[in-house]
Structure 1
Amino acid sequence: MIITGDNVDGISDLKASLYRTFEMKDLGFLSYFLGLEVISTDDGIYLSQTKYASDLFARAGIADSRTESTPLEPNVRFTPMDDTVLDNPTLYRQLVGGLVYLTVTRPDIAYPVHILGQFLSAPRTTHYAAVLRILHYIKGTLFYGLYFYAHSSLFLQAYSDAEWAGDTTDRCSTTSYCLFLDDSLIS
């Protein structure tokens, strides 16, 4: 439970009321929750998923120290007919699902994970190689995360981009966006 504010008596009263109503414990300051690592300072809160990402490396069997500078090769295009179909797509699906959850604190991988998520029904060896590339990129940027400033203004900025009918398979468009509250990425 996170209770914030500077009214110590009010916080104590609220906790006492909650203890009487619910069976609960005060576990102290939040540091780890559902794979999210939380570091709180006077200036703000830093969220990362370092341990969760390390667990993905283990699941994928990545033990080498190789890293990549980008999550995907520039200008790469994937189709449902690339290379050969994977014999057992279970690991591919698990890794892509894990990467989807990792995008909570790693918006830099959202686009490639979305692209590779389109091939869950019949993934191919090329798609699996791309998932491994994303994991090697994450290995080189393991401590990336999101920082939320404690004393920021409520200035909201939004950016978007689109590629119209860029998918060569079905001519679908790709749209992306990001929202900032002052200097903090929130979506």
Structure 2
Amino acid sequence: MDVKNSFLNGDLTEEVYMQPPPGSSVPSIKTEHGIIIPLLYVDDMTITGDDIVGISNLKQFLSYQFEMKDLGLLSYFLGLEISHDPSGYFLTQAKYISDLLNHAGFTDSKTITTPVDPQTHLTPLDGHLISDATLYSQLVGSLVYFTVTCPDIAYIVYIVSQFMVVPRSPHYDALVHILHYLKGTMFHGFHYSAHSSLQLHAFSVADWAGDPTDRHSTIGFSFFLGDSLIAWRSKKQIPVAHSSTEA
């Protein structure tokens, strides 16, 4: 739904609850498969996520109160391309990365099979300063957003983002390496199955004192709900680990 007019700085006279008021709880129902579904109450309507008629009535109700447009099934939003069929949903950012490669002048570049050379160890003082630090920052910022559907570049994007203030030639070379990799994988994405189990799995990994500058370790984790990847991150640890076990 697209709300055509939003008054972001208007004064509200109504009391707005950001969480359930004291003495109440969020209503929900339990399905035959044991799934808890939160309920939404609108006047005399009770709506669940799979209540097609209720959702339609809610849209109609909101359209009476505000100037809104029903955009139909979600297919494109902020660079995310969403396709759906009975098997589930597929998310990509192919157009987003294609526009990025065009902006960076890598449309006709070669492709490579890995997002980073395993022997790469970047430091703040290697190489010479690059002439266009603004382009470097723009590309890194765009790649950070691209990790929404491309977790396989999360680690190296985290590394190159540490040098956005004073980027040097090895940092830019690592950035170019990522772009070459993405050119060959731009149509990769996520498939969220409609028939996946709801079993939660978590995986984590860490290096030990992997940063050559401050000797901090880097940790990575991922969470799967059934076959669907729902959360992931690559991040430097705050303390310095004194052993691989501690890391």
TM-score by length of 1: 0.94
Runs of 4+ displaced beyond 4 Å = none
Matched, 1:99 2:143: yes
Aligned-partner residue type, residue 162 of structure 1:
A
Alignment correspondent of 2:222: 178
Offset at 1:132? 1.0
CA distance in 1, matches of 2:55, 2:162: 47
SS in structure 2 of the partner of residue 161 of structure 1: strand
Match of 1:109 in 2: 153
What residue in structure 1 maps to residue 120 of structure 2? 76
Within 1, Cα distance between the matches of 2:52 and 2:131?
A: 60
Q: Does 1:39 align with 2:83?
A: yes
Listed one character per residue, the Cα deviations across residues 16-54 of structure 1 (whole Å, up to 9, x for unaligned) are 111122221001111100000000111111010000001
Greater Cα radius of gyration, structure 1 or 2: 2
Q: Please name the residue that 1:133 is paired with.
A: 177
Alignment gaps of 5+ in structure 1: none
1:157-168 to 2 correspondences below 5 Å: 157-168=201-212
Amino acid at match of 1:54: S
SS of the equivalent of 1:14 reads helix
Alignment match, 1:60: 104
Please report the RMSD computed on the Cα atoms of aligned residues, expressed in angstroms: 1.6
**Aligned counterpart for 2:131 among listed residues 84, 87, 110:** 87
Q: 1:154 pairs with 192, 198, 207, which one?
A: 198
Give the AA of the match of 2:150: R
Q: How many equivalent pairs are there?
A: 186
**Aligned equivalents of 1:60, 1:9: Cα separation in 2:** 47
Aligned to 2:70: 26
What secondary structure sits across from 1:46 in the alignment?
A: strand
Identity %: 55
Higher relative contact order (CA closer than 8 Å, sequence separation 6+): 1
How many angstroms apart in 2 are the aligned matches of 1:4 and 1:27?
A: 18
The residue type equivalent to 1:170 in the other structure is D
Q: For residue 166 of structure 1, report the CA deviation from its aligned partner.
A: 1.7
Deviations 1:143-178 (A, max 9, x none): 011111112221110000111222110111100000
Deviation at 1:63, TM superposition (A): 2.6
How big is each residue's C-alpha offset from its partner over 1:47-80, in whole Å with a ceiling of 9 and x where there is no partner? 1000000111011111324001101112210111
